[in-house]
Amino acid sequence: MRKSLTKLDGVSQAIVDLKAGTATVTYDPDKVELAQMTEATTNAGFPSTLRESTGGE
């Protein structure tokens, strides 16, 4: 899943925790949309939904 995310232009980092079923992604919203990231993980065999964070967590 990490590879499918980091291939996207605008994604600078993806940290995946398969056990927890989560991915934390650092990206440039001017270059990649959330829907593109969801589609990439789904196409890689990991259907996903979004939990957006602005950083301070």
- Do you know the residue count of the chain? 57
Phi, psi of 39 (to 5 degrees): -65, -40
pLDDT of residue 1: 85
CATH number of 2-43: 3.30.70.100
DSSP code, position 44: T
pLDDT of residue 51: 76
What CA–CA distance (Å, rounded) separates 23 from 26? 10
pLDDT of residue 54: 64
pLDDT of residue 44: 92
Question: Residue 36 — pLDDT band, cuts 50, 70, 90?
Answer: very high
Q: In 1-57, at which residue ranges do the beta strands (DSSP E only) sit?
A: 11-17, 22-27
Question: Residue 7 — pLDDT band, cuts 50, 70, 90?
Answer: very high
Q: What percent of the chain has pLDDT over 90?
A: 68
